[in-house]
């Protein structure tokens, strides 16, 4: 069952097959959790957001348009859950010891100085994400971390493509200011 394509599992889940939905959950849980970690900056809240995302997906699966891809629909739910959680709290926090958030960049090597520099950069980026508006953070993470196109993000969020491009551009500039990359800040 776990190697069947999403559309077969969705059809089963829409007929009430909990094992089919369990397979979908298993397939997508790490991506949803990683997304929630980057959006919320807190592992416990990310876990809660992931759980809520899959509960909402299960209860809304009857309304899912099977002619559309499942992954963007699921990320749209996660984006709404995370945005709601961010709105409910006053100041976002970032857990810098979270391995999902504070990983050094790939290819840093085993040189301790490089590893320390990579960790420092990752921590500054994680802290910078927490300083962005919810809209900027959402657009940036969906575009550059999750790899969705602007058109897919537009469908998920209901925002126009040009607005999303503006959010990403401003978010990149703000992050560059925070982490100290003056060349990127001028782009």
Question: Structural domain boundaries of the chain?
Answer: 1-93
pLDDT tens track for 157-187: 889 999 999 999 998 888 888 777 544 444 4
> In this prediction, what percent of the chain has a pLDDT beyond 90?
47
- Cα gap 150→139, rounded to integer Å: 9
Question: What pLDDT was estimated at residue 78?
Answer: 96
Structurally, at CATH architecture level, domain 1-93 sits in Orthogonal Bundle (1.10)
Please give the model's pTM, rounded to 2 decimal places.
0.69
Q: Please, which pLDDT band fits residue 124 given cuts at 50, 70 and 90? A: confident
Torsion of CA 20, 25, 26, 30, to 10 degrees: 160
């Amino acid at each position: 069952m776990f190697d069947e394509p999403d559309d077969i599992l969705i059809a089963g889940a829409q007929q009430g097959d909990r094992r089919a939905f369990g397979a979908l959950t298993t397939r997508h849980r790490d991506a949803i959790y990683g997304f929630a970690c980057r959006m919320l900056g807190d592992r416990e809240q990310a876990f809660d957001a992931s759980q809520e995302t899959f509960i909402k997906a299960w209860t809304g699966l009857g309304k899912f348009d099977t002619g559309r891809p499942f992954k963007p629909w699921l990320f749209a739910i996660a984006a709404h859950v995370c945005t709601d959680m961010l709105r409910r709290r006053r100041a976002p926090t970032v857990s810098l010891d979270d391995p999902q958030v504070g990983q050094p960049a790939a290819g840093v090597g085993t040189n301790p100085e490089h590893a320390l520099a990579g960790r420092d950069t990752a921590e500054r980026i994680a802290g910078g994400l927490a300083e962005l508006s919810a809209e900027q953070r959402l657009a940036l993470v969906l575009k550059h971390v999750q790899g969705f196109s602007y058109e897919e993000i537009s469908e998920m969020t209901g925002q126009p493509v040009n607005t999303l491009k503006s959010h990403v551009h401003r978010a990149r500039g703000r992050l560059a200011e925070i982490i100290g990359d003056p060349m990127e800040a001028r782009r």
